[in-house]
A and B are shown apart, each in its own frame.
Chain A
Amino acid sequence: MIALAVISGFVFALISPWLTRRLQGAAGWLLSLLPLAQTIYFAALMAKVLIGETVTFSVPWSPALGLQFSFRADGLGLLFALLISGIGTLIVLYGSGYLKGNPDLGRFYGWLFVFMAAMLGVVLSDNLILLFVFWELTSLSSFMLIGFKHEEERSRAAALQALLVTGLGGLVMLAGFILLGQASGSYELSTLLAIGDEIRSSALYLPALILILIGAFTKSAQFPFHFWLPNAMEAPTPVSAYLHSATMVKAGIYLLARLNPALGGTPAWQTIVTVIGAATMLVGGYLALTQTDLKRLLAYSTVAALGAMTMLIGIGDSLAIKGALTFLLAHALYKGSLFMVAGSIDHETGTRDVTHLRGLGRLMPFTAGAAALAALSMAGLPPLFGFITKEVLYERSLEAGAWISAAAIFFALSNIFVAGLVAVAPFWGRTRASYPDQAKVHEAPFSMFLGPVILAGLGLLAGVSLGSVAHLLEPAISASAGQAVKVKLSLWHGLTPALILSLLTLLVGSIMYMARRPIQRILAATGKMPGPERLYAASLNGLISFAGALTRFMQSGYLRYYLTTTILATVVGVSVTFFARGGWHWPARVLDLRFYEVGLAVFILLAAINATRSPSRLSAVASMGVAGYGIALLYLLYGAPDLAMTQFLIESLTVVLFVLAFYHLPHFARLSKPASRARDIVISLLAGGMMTMLVLSLLGGQAFPSISEYFAENSYPLAHGRNVVNVILVDFRGTDTLGEITVLGIAAIGVYALLKLRGQKKNTGGNS
């Protein structure tokens, strides 16, 4: 059932383009039923978890590789799953309004559902390799969604950047997972989390930790990888709200929180994760001050918020984890809401520049109300949930020392500033007369203000019903802290230093907001300073020019050189290995040949020699075919009818292909010089000599016991077939065959593309 809840998103991804074409705008309402059902299901699971159960599901996938199709729903996974499916429901609706009438709406939904399913997979997988597969699927779907407006160069560049940064990070993380598996002997999270001490004392701990952290940091846009997130704002706003604020960028946070019991608590973890988190918080918080575009403002403040969560998980005790996960919930609610508000403003007015926006409050009352609630939560005012989380952040930071506290205060100030710019400035004041789409500025459609209103309302509800929220978060916090934690949240807990600090922050933040014009003017220039993005651009350009140089060096365009290189490399590689491993044995039994075998061998040899000496291409190809038929006959003599049959067919088809290719070849003539012919003879003798040596020595002795008896004995009992060759192909080594036919398919597409491209070039050349 839990696997079905994850997989069903992929099924919806397949049918949603078709459904959208049939139903147009109404499709959004129908499609949102899936995430709604998922939300209800996960809520029911959460009820089970709250009474102490954990729901698991496991099916072997490829046990030889440590790969299990296993899912596990505990408090932490379900908290994320609820956010993913719950916000997903609202985003599907929002998207139907935002992209109304867009001919590509079906494609949008398709990739959105792929993402949703993959994201649920990430947070519910119990197997690390399975988690990695889903992880990369989220990067892939994010690529397609950022590049949704693929006619625009900026969209494509941003999509590629996000894919390269997060995809490469994911691969690095895979390496870390494998090291972790080596160190602990298991890829199952449930096993790993129980043996944290063993993992931390392993020699592979530090390399595994660093590799996994790189994966988490790239995904969650931590400094110095943060630059892809603001650029990803090229995506349609529902995507920004969902992937790049509420869910996907939190996958890194999830991984850190998940692995804290297994990897956390060491000086290395605490130093790296805390410092990177604090740095990200500062960089994001600062850069947010320099922006005037609504979405980029929110993006940088998201970077800062992710930094804050990372920093808290780095500290890693139960108070810090409590801070991280309550903040995660608060942030998902207010930031998802604010992103949708920004999208609605853009949708109605045609601009996202805060310096141009004002007085929208009267025109868009619901949107303005949602924005105000969400902004109050973001700024950390009681009784909204954002207030509680900021208090916990302050409380833990003050314990951690001056530097961390200063960073946290700066982060809170930046949050107040951004909240004001995004949710107050556009709505207050007198209505402006000149919007790009002035005539139609009015409230966004119902589907578009429903989401922000619900999310912002939940932020208020969570703030006033702290008891239930604490109860809900308790299993998640316990799972991440690695021990049972009693969670208590309260609006008022005396006149603590944290509260005094909050009041001060609010005061200073409000003053900063009042002075927003001069502040932004002064800081604007610094926002464009070169950052780590330079390094990304430089390495991308470097890679492209390196690939160009390599291609010019390797790809001569002459088939003879390719063949020479391939054959020589094979000869050298095989021979070196062969002799270095002492592979040579004299044949044990002297060959007892029948006369017809000798006859056949002579026949093959003659055909081969004739192929090299024939005056025309056709006869050369025919001679090769004859040699091939001879080899097929040999197979037959030695009792391999399957091989013989295949060989006959391949030879026939090869001759057909050759004859077809003849049309494209120049006139057959002898152009090569004697010297190059001599060189070719040497190469062919080397290749032939190597094969002879290999085959003779195989007769001499076997390094390994033969596996053929196993196949012969088990073919019928295990695989219900008497033809061993076929049973090996379709059953015993089915995975290999699957790989082979996939390669064949790719090769065919390559050949097809090359031929068709050539044809096009010829045509356009003829026209011009």
Chain B
Amino acid sequence: MTSFVLRVTTRYLLPLLLIFAVFLFMRGHNEPGGGFVAGLIASAAFALYAIAFGTDKARRVLPLDPRVLIGIGLMVALASGVMGILDEKPFLTGIWIKIPIFMAPPLEIGTPLLFDLGVFLAVTGVTLTIIFALEEEV
């Protein structure tokens, strides 16, 4: 078993790091951040958890097998591209909608956000697939 300190800190760090990943992901389009970095943070969080508690526990915390995550990520990215075609524009053309918000500039949401989500999931899946597989080999 690993050290007590590591296990306790990890227990609190995991949610914090995941929230941080979501934060980086959401701000990515206008401020430093984005799906790739967010994916790395999320992987680091689970990797830390796996080191502290073992991969079995880490897999249980993770809602999906990381290999499945890769596939979902690629599909999401692809789907965001196909939306362009459905709008009769070239593949991967960004499509944006404005959501009006009271007393504030309208919120703009577009397919690139979905694409970035795909990147986020794929990167997390790739990193964790490798890290878990290496750890289980030990």
- Judging by beta carbons under 8 Å apart, are B119 and A741 in contact? yes
Check A503 for interface membership: any CB of B closer than 8 A.
Answer: no
- Judging by beta carbons under 8 Å apart, are A756 and B133 in contact? yes
- Judging by beta carbons under 8 Å apart, are B70 and A745 in contact? yes
Check B90 for interface membership: any CB of A closer than 8 A.
Answer: yes
Residue in A650, A660, A747 with the greatest tally of chain B CB atoms within 10 Å: A660
User: Who on chain B is nearest to A751 by CB?
Assistant: B130
Q: A729 and B36 in contact (CB under 8 A), knowing A661-B134, A722-B31, A752-B129?
A: yes
Interface size class of A (residues with CB under 8 A): 35 or more
Contact of B134 among A59, A660, A742 (CB under 8 A): A660
Check B10 for interface membership: any CB of A closer than 8 A.
Answer: no
Check B74 for interface membership: any CB of A closer than 8 A.
Answer: yes
- Judging by beta carbons under 8 Å apart, are A730 and B116 in contact? yes
Least CB distance, B80 to chain A, in whole angstroms = 8
1/0 contact trace for A247-266 toward B, CB 8 Å? 00000000000000000000
- Judging by beta carbons under 8 Å apart, are A748 and B137 in contact? no
* Contacts of A713-748 to chain B: CB distance below 8 A: 719-723, 725-727, 729-731, 734-735, 737-738, 741-742, 744-745, 747-748
- Judging by beta carbons under 8 Å apart, are A646 and B137 in contact? no
Q: A721 and B122 in contact (CB under 8 A), knowing A726-B29, A758-B137?
A: no
* Contacts of A610-658 to chain B: CB distance below 8 A: 641-642, 645-646, 649-650, 652-653, 656-657
- Judging by beta carbons under 8 Å apart, are A741 and B118 in contact? yes
Least CB distance, B122 to chain A, in whole angstroms = 4
- Judging by beta carbons under 8 Å apart, are B29 and A663 in contact? no
Check A755 for interface membership: any CB of B closer than 8 A.
Answer: yes
Residues of B within 8 A of A720 (CB): 29, 94, 96, 108, 110, 112
User: Who on chain A is nearest to B138 by CB?
Assistant: A663
Contact of B28 among A649, A653, A723, A752 (CB under 8 A): A723
* Contacts of B13-36 to chain A: CB distance below 8 A: 24, 28-36
Check B11 for interface membership: any CB of A closer than 8 A.
Answer: no
- Judging by beta carbons under 8 Å apart, are A61 and B40 in contact? no
- Judging by beta carbons under 8 Å apart, are A738 and B92 in contact? yes
Q: What CA separation (Å) do A657 and B127 show in the bound complex?
A: 10
Q: A62 and B122 in contact (CB under 8 A), knowing A723-B34, A752-B133?
A: no
Residues of B within 8 A of A723 (CB): 28-34
1/0 contact trace for A740-768 toward B, CB 8 Å? 01101101110110011011000000000
Contact of B90 among A63, A657, A749, A751 (CB under 8 A): A63
* Contacts of B85-120 to chain A: CB distance below 8 A: 85, 88-92, 94, 96, 108, 110, 112-113, 115-116, 118-119
- Judging by beta carbons under 8 Å apart, are B119 and A737 in contact? yes
Q: A653 and B108 in contact (CB under 8 A), knowing A729-B36, A734-B81, A752-B67?
A: no
Residues of A within 8 A of B40 (CB): 646, 649-650, 653
User: Who on chain A is nearest to B87 by CB?
Assistant: A59
Check A132 for interface membership: any CB of B closer than 8 A.
Answer: no
Check A69 for interface membership: any CB of B closer than 8 A.
Answer: yes
Residue in A656, A721, A726 with the greatest tally of chain B CB atoms within 10 Å: A726
Number of CB contacts from chain A to chain B under 8 A: 156
Q: What CA separation (Å) do A731 and B108 show in the bound complex?
A: 15
Residues of A within 8 A of B33 (CB): 642, 645, 723, 726
Check A664 for interface membership: any CB of B closer than 8 A.
Answer: yes
Q: What CA separation (Å) do A741 and B34 show in the bound complex?
A: 14
Residues of A within 8 A of B96 (CB): 720
Contact of A645 among B32, B43, B90, B126 (CB under 8 A): B32
Check A60 for interface membership: any CB of B closer than 8 A.
Answer: yes
Q: What CA separation (Å) do A587 and B90 show in the bound complex?
A: 42
Q: What CA separation (Å) do A288 and B47 show in the bound complex?
A: 64
Least CB distance, A62 to chain B, in whole angstroms = 6
- Judging by beta carbons under 8 Å apart, are B74 and A742 in contact? yes
User: Who on chain A is nearest to B128 by CB?
Assistant: A748
Check B58 for interface membership: any CB of A closer than 8 A.
Answer: no
- Judging by beta carbons under 8 Å apart, are B34 and A653 in contact? no
- Judging by beta carbons under 8 Å apart, are B89 and A741 in contact? no
- Judging by beta carbons under 8 Å apart, are B91 and A645 in contact? no
Q: What CA separation (Å) do A652 and B73 show in the bound complex?
A: 23
- Judging by beta carbons under 8 Å apart, are B138 and A60 in contact? no
- Judging by beta carbons under 8 Å apart, are A748 and B125 in contact? yes
Query: A residues touching B (Cβ–Cβ < 8 Å)?
Result: 59-63, 69, 641-642, 645-646, 649-650, 652-653, 656-657, 660-661, 663-664, 719-723, 725-727, 729-731, 734-735, 737-738, 741-742, 744-745, 747-749, 751-752, 755-756, 758-759
Q: Given known contacts A60-B90, A729-B36, what 18 new A-B pairs fall within 8 Å (CB)?
A: A59-B88, A62-B90, A642-B33, A645-B24, A646-B37, A652-B44, A653-B40, A653-B47, A720-B96, A723-B29, A726-B33, A730-B116, A738-B77, A738-B92, A745-B71, A748-B127, A752-B129, A755-B134
Q: List 22 A-B pairs, Cβ < 8 Å.
A: A59-B89, A62-B91, A652-B44, A653-B40, A656-B131, A657-B130, A719-B112, A720-B96, A720-B108, A722-B31, A723-B30, A725-B32, A729-B35, A729-B116, A731-B94, A735-B92, A738-B115, A741-B74, A741-B77, A745-B71, A749-B67, A752-B67
Lowest 5 CB-CB distances: which A-B pairs, in order? A721-B29, A649-B40, A748-B126, A641-B32, A722-B30
